[in-house]
Amino acid sequence: MDSWRTQELLATELKKCAHLIPQEMLCEHVAPLLFQMARESTYLVRRASMQSLIHVIRYIPDVRRRNHILKHFRTEWARGKVYWTRLAFIDGAQCAYHVFSSKLFAEMFKEEVLEMMNDPVPNVRLRLVRFFSVLAPNWKEYSEFQATISRLAEDVDRQVAKDAKELLDALPGLERPGPNQLLDDMKLEEAELLFFVNRSSKKKKTTKLPSASAQGDNLDISTKDSYGDGTRTIADAAAASLQLPQAESTSKEIIPRDALSPSSGKADPQG
């Protein structure tokens, strides 16, 4: 795909249909493609790819495989060697804030997002402060969140310090989420509990996937697990999450709840 507009459209459409794509395809084909487009194309494609990736992660039922992709997203993008990978991580995290429940979002992104206050590039810290203004109503009572903003209010970059100081002064007056927002968040959390499943790792078969890094390293992603007797299928878990009738299965119940490296690449000036 030579046209960046075609790539942006593809990423947007993948986001819309992520819930219809089988887990194997999401892990082995869709996620690697999105990482590759994000690394090799323009800022608009990168932003669309990050948003699509978050929806892909949301519809991977196996918690272990979901976290495997998240680990690479955090370590290779949030701590990437080029600044635009870190900006892309913030774009992805901002999308995730609206996709996941507040509890699961904090579990997956809180530590890495707060650590980014130490980023050496002012534009990354500035983008972070502006993302914090979105998080503030839910996070304003976290002591580590307040401490992070206080640190940024003393930043050596004038604009970062200004925006952080304004946010810090506004924190006491920010309203907590209302009853409707809390109810919506509770519904998201219930859907996540029904959808995500932890799986025993007794046996697994792995496949080598081409990395999203320019070096072309390989990443092992588990493709099959030993379900054995006494498990619920992923299709059943997905049906429960989407409130669809579950297909009959001869198997029993599973224990509910368990690419790629853009370590280098071509940055475009729009980042």
pLDDT tens for each residue of the chain, 271 residues long? 678 999 999 999 999 999 999 999 999 999 999 999 999 999 999 999 999 999 999 999 999 999 999 999 998 999 999 999 999 999 999 999 999 999 999 999 999 999 999 999 999 999 999 999 999 999 999 999 999 999 999 999 999 999 999 999 999 999 989 999 999 999 999 999 999 988 655 544 444 444 444 443 344 444 333 333 334 444 444 444 444 444 444 444 444 444 444 444 444 444 4
Residue 30 CA from chain centroid, whole number: 14
3-state SS, 13-42, equals: HHHHHHHHCCHHHHHHHHHHHHHHHHHHCC
List Cβ neighbours of 129 (8 Å cut-off, separation of 6 or more): 149, 152, 160, 163, 164, 167
Q: In whole angstroms, give the CA distance from residue 79 to residue 117.
A: 12
Give long-range contacts, CB 8 A cutoff, 24+ apart: 124-128.
124/83, 124/86, 124/87, 124/90, 125/152, 125/155, 125/157, 125/160, 126/157, 126/159, 126/160, 126/163, 127/87, 127/90, 128/90, 128/152
DSSP string, 181-208: HHHHHHHHHHHHHHH-B----SSEEEEE
